[in-house]
Amino acid sequence: MMKRYLVTGGAGFIGSNFVKYMLKKYIDIEIIILDALTYAGNLGTIKEELKDKRVEFYKGDIRNKDLVENIFMKHDIDYVVNFAAESHVDRSIAEPQIFLETNILGTQNLLEIAKKFWSIGKNEKGYPIYKTGKKFHHVSTDEVYGSLSKNYSHAVELKLSKEVKKVVEGRENLKTYGTNMFTEKTPLDPRSPYSASKTSSDMIVVAYGETYHLPFNITRCSNNYGPYHFPEKLIPLIIKNILCGKKLPVYGKGDNVRDWLYVEDHCKGIDMVITFGMQNEIYNIGGFNEEENINIVKLTIDKILEIMKKESKYQEILKTDIKNINYDLISYVTDRLGHDERYAIDPTKITTELGWYPETSFEVGIEKTIRWYLDNQDWVEEVASGDYQKYYDEMYR
């Protein structure tokens, strides 16, 4: 049966990848994109999708009650998939308020309108009853769990449980930097204005589920990487700077650990949770790829050099001599305030309940990502104009 998705933030990094993934996977589908086109949203990212008859685009704010109501009036929405957010931790440290406004109040506005349009009456206890097949999917982050400590200075073997091992193919020899991982039961303990706002938005989603029985799922993922990643975040920023021979700013000692998830694997996980996830459950989605930032930076340098040497046509893209691409570009800079030490996701629940696992190893994912950036320099130029330059100059002065 045809399903109609309202994808908020569909012109941003993960939202656009999700739209592309879904249009390829399903024929019988309609996608309504609502995006305010902030500095992080770009129509160029979804220009092919906008030509597709199955897609309709609205430029606007998730906080705008009239606009969201109009969308629900015009389209019989089955699923809201809420990606729209202020998503950059560094920006949240500099200017927190917009994070609270968009991430908390915006989410609540969407919930309220979904409740209004999806409910068809009340049960004997006064809870709303909803049309069948409706669901609110909220995209959240592992940062809501706070920061894990590192127990090892070097990665050690990650031992998978028997049930997870059964599902995971070709992802052996995994490693970890600590003895603990985030599960869905880990207490919420956000530490930045960004993660505090995401935690609040998760809690308001759960509150609508409890108080109004609104059907929902929440997914909490680790650090995504892949095509269309805005070049303020670590990996695309590093790729961009390497190609220009610019310094690579590494915060603190570079030993903070993130769990890198290839964006397409994440989109597949969201689709599986929307389709098969247990109602009103939360699922963690991780990459099985814990790594220290400094190693991510070094690996990216190594991979770019390898590609450039094998396929010399790519050297034309360089705005520096290839000889300048080496570890000397690495520049240790002042640490981020309240910098979370380590994130690591235990994806046992989604793996054992739904059969999802992160298929893409980092070696494969980073090569795909670098190649995408090499082939799409126009996109980088387009998004890195205007506000980007101003932000960059202030941040890394």
Residue 52: CB minimum distance to ligand TDX, A: 27
Among 78, 106, 213, 234, binds ligand NAD (CB under 6 A): 106
Q: Which tokens belong to 30?
A: 């309609």
Residue 87 interacts with ligand NAD (CB under 6 A): yes or no: yes
In this structure, are residues 25 and 270 in contact, taking their beta carbons and an 8 Å threshold?
no
Sign of CA dihedral 266, 343, 366, 286: negative
- Which of 55, 77, 84, 235 binds ligand NAD (CB under 6 A)? It is 84
Q: Map tokens 């599986």 to a residue.
A: 272
Question: Is residue 142 flagged as an active site residue?
Answer: yes
Active-site residue (options: 130, 145, 194, 373): 194
Binding range to ligand NAD, per CB under 6 A, among 82-90, 167-175, 291-299, 377-385: 82-90
Number of residues that bind ligand NAD (CB under 6 A): 30
273: tokens are 């949770």
DSSP run (H or E) holding 221: strand 216-221
Residues in region 63-92 near ligand TDX by CB under 6 A? 87-89
What residue type is 254 in one-letter code? G
Q: Where do runs of H (alpha helix) occur along the chain? A: 13-25, 47-50, 65-74, 89-94, 97-99, 107-118, 162-167, 193-212, 234-244, 263-276, 293-310, 348-354, 362-375, 377-383, 387-395
Q: Which of 45, 107, 141, 351 binds ligand TDX (CB under 6 A)?
A: 141
Active-site residue (options: 49, 78, 86, 143) = 143
Residues in the interface with ligand TDX (CB under 6 A) total: 16
At residue 87's C-alpha, the angle toward residues 92 and 360, to 5°, is 140
Q: How far is the CB of 96 from ligand NAD (least distance, A)?
A: 14
Closest-CA residue to 240 (of 362, 335, 329, 333) = 329
* Nearest distance from C-beta of residue 270 to ligand TDX, angstroms: 14
Q: What single string gives the DSSP state of each residue in 234-284? A: HHHHHHHHHHHT--EEEETTS--EEE-EEHHHHHHHHHHHHHHPPTTEEEE
Residues 290-349 that bind ligand TDX (CB under 6 A): 293, 336
- Do residues 213 and 126 lie in contact, with contact meaning Cβ atoms separated by under 8 Å? no
241 is a site residue for ligand TDX (CB under 6 A): no
Q: Is 194 an annotated catalytic residue?
A: yes
Distance of closest approach, residue 113 Cβ to ligand TDX, in angstroms: 24
Are 223 and 261 in contact by the 8 Å Cβ rule? The answer is yes
- Residue whose beta carbon is closest to ligand NAD: 12
Which positions from 28 through 57 interact with ligand TDX, judged by CB under 6 A? none
Q: Residue type at 396?
A: Y
**E strand or H helix that includes residue 389:** helix 387-395
Q: What's the CA gap between 307 and 93, in Å, rounded?
A: 36
Using the rule CB under 6 A, give the single segment among 26-34, 166-174, 246-254, 366-374 that binds ligand TDX. Answer: 246-254
User: C-alpha 284: how far from its chain's center?
Assistant: 12
Q: Rule CB under 6 A: is residue 36 a binding residue for ligand NAD?
A: yes
38 binds, among ligand NAD, ligand TDX, none (CB under 5 to 8 A by kind): ligand NAD
Q: Which of 30, 49, 61, 142 is catalytic?
A: 142
Residue 188 Ramachandran class (φ > 0 left, ψ -120 to 50 alpha, else beta): beta
Residue 132 or 334 with smaller CB distance to ligand TDX: 334
49 is catalytic: no
Q: According to the binding rule CB under 6 A, does residue 236 interact with ligand NAD?
A: no
29 exposure class (CB count in 10 Å sphere: 0-12, 13-18, 19+): middle
For ligand TDX, the binding residues in 148-207 under the rule CB under 6 A are none
Tell me the catalytic residues. Answer: 142-143, 194
Which residues lie near ligand TDX (CB under 6 A)? 87-89, 141, 143, 223, 233-234, 237, 249-251, 256, 258, 293, 336
Interaction site with ligand NAD (CB under 6 A)? 8-9, 11-15, 35-38, 40-41, 61-63, 83-87, 102, 106, 139, 141, 198, 221, 223-224, 230
